Amino acid sequence: MATQILPASAETTDTFPINGTDFIEFYVGNAKQASVFYRTAFGFQLIGYRGPETGTRDRASYVLEQGKVRLVLTTAMRPDSPVAAHVHAHGDGVHDIALWVDDARDAFAKAVERGARPALEPTVQRDADGEVVIAGIHTYGETIHSLVERRGYRGPFLPGFVPAASPYAPAPVGLEYVDHCVGNVELGAMNRWVAFYEHVLGFRNLISFDDKTISTEYSALMSKVVSNGNGRIKFPLNEPAEGRKKSQIDEYLDFYGGPGVQHIAIATDDIIRTVTALRDRGVEFLRVPATYYDSVTDRVGRIDEDLAPLRDLGILVDRDDEGYLLQIFTKPIEDRPTLFFEIIQRKGAKSFGAGNFKALFEAIEREQALRGNL
């Protein structure tokens, strides 16, 4: 069987409770400029800042927010910084998928006891707005999971950050929350990382796709999805599979310099409005051939949306037993073919768009070929 969807269990096996994604921190070459890009193109709002002017000497960070999505863009002030080393190795990319927990000390102790590699011992941070406890564990590559316990903290983000706003504030585009974050790992490493999330964090392996489901004429990949008990944290993990040519995962690993976050999927409740706004602001999306729309209704049945705007924008549709979903993928948002975003609207479906994989991966391969990397 090519795709295996495991029965959902009512039983929560989480090692510790996770309330959701607290923030996603990017290490970038120029956070000041990146913040303008994410505000202009994606409609994020600037809410906080930390840097030399506020007493942090070695780095500058901008906190952006839209709906429940919080991005932190951090840059190094000097070349000997670990932030600079990360950017040197990977280009702009995700360093931290931070998890919002009830008790960071307990979460850290349990995770480390079960085999997680510590990234940050539990640390109490305080300012006039209250107290936060933060710890951190390593995951694939140089990526970490901060464990953030907020204890009723009243400040804009974390202690040390000051509120920030800009008179330049393009309107939000309807991005609501982080739906899932996908990691690319090396050939043969996927099952090890699935086991890490199962054993260390108590997650469950919800769905498995083998290389027959996810293959084109040229390449293949394998993917498994792990999730926590309340489903707010979903991490698909991809590894390359043998194919006639270089897979998109190989291309990522090559240019990122190892495992890392491949894409961040953000949910909207009006994908046509959101994608129209993103397109008008210069965000570039992958396109599938127009013939995709000739057969889409045969494949997915009746949907609420008109086909014309979906075709015009290049939005993809897929259905599972529980409903359908609409999704679209940006091109990589750096010059290196690494991180990209997915915009997703769920109308009952809890899956990830397997019916679109082939058309989508062929679109990616056309881009790879243009880059000389297929």
For residue 200, give the 3-state DSSP assignment.
helix
Give strand pairing partners of 296: none
Q: Which is nearer to Fe ion, 146 or 262 (CB)?
A: 262
Stretch that binds Fe ion, among 49-57, 191-199, 338-346, 358-366 (CB under 5 A): 338-346
Minimum CB separation of residue 188 from Fe ion in Å reads: 22
# chain residues binding Fe ion, by CB under 5 A: 2
Minimum CB separation of residue 130 from Fe ion in Å reads: 35
| Binding residues among 167-206 for Fe ion as defined by CB under 5 A | none
Query: Strands 260-267, 340-347: parallel, antiparallel or unpaired by DSSP?
Result: parallel
Sheet holding 3-5, edge to edge: 3-5, 204-209, 220-227, 234-241, 177-184, 260-267, 340-347, 323-329, 316-320
Letter for the amino acid at 59?
R
92 touching Fe ion, by CB under 5 A: no
Letter for the amino acid at 172?
P
Minimum CB separation of residue 262 from Fe ion in Å reads: 9
318 touching Fe ion, by CB under 5 A: no
Tokens, residue 53: 């002017």
Name which position in 342, 345, 349, 356 contacts Fe ion (CB under 5 A).
342
226 touching Fe ion, by CB under 5 A: no
Q: Which is nearer to Fe ion, 142 or 342 (CB)?
A: 342
The region that residue 301 occupies, defined by phi over 0 for left and psi between -120 and 50 for alpha, beta otherwise, is left
φ, ψ of residue 104 in degrees (nearest 5): -70, -35
Q: Which is nearer to Fe ion, 265 or 339 (CB)?
A: 265
| Binding residues among 236-275 for Fe ion as defined by CB under 5 A | 265
Contact 47, 157 (CB under 8 A): yes
Stretch that binds Fe ion, among 90-98, 154-162, 314-322, 342-350 (CB under 5 A): 342-350
d(CA 255, CA 357): 22
Interaction site with Fe ion (CB under 5 A): 265, 342
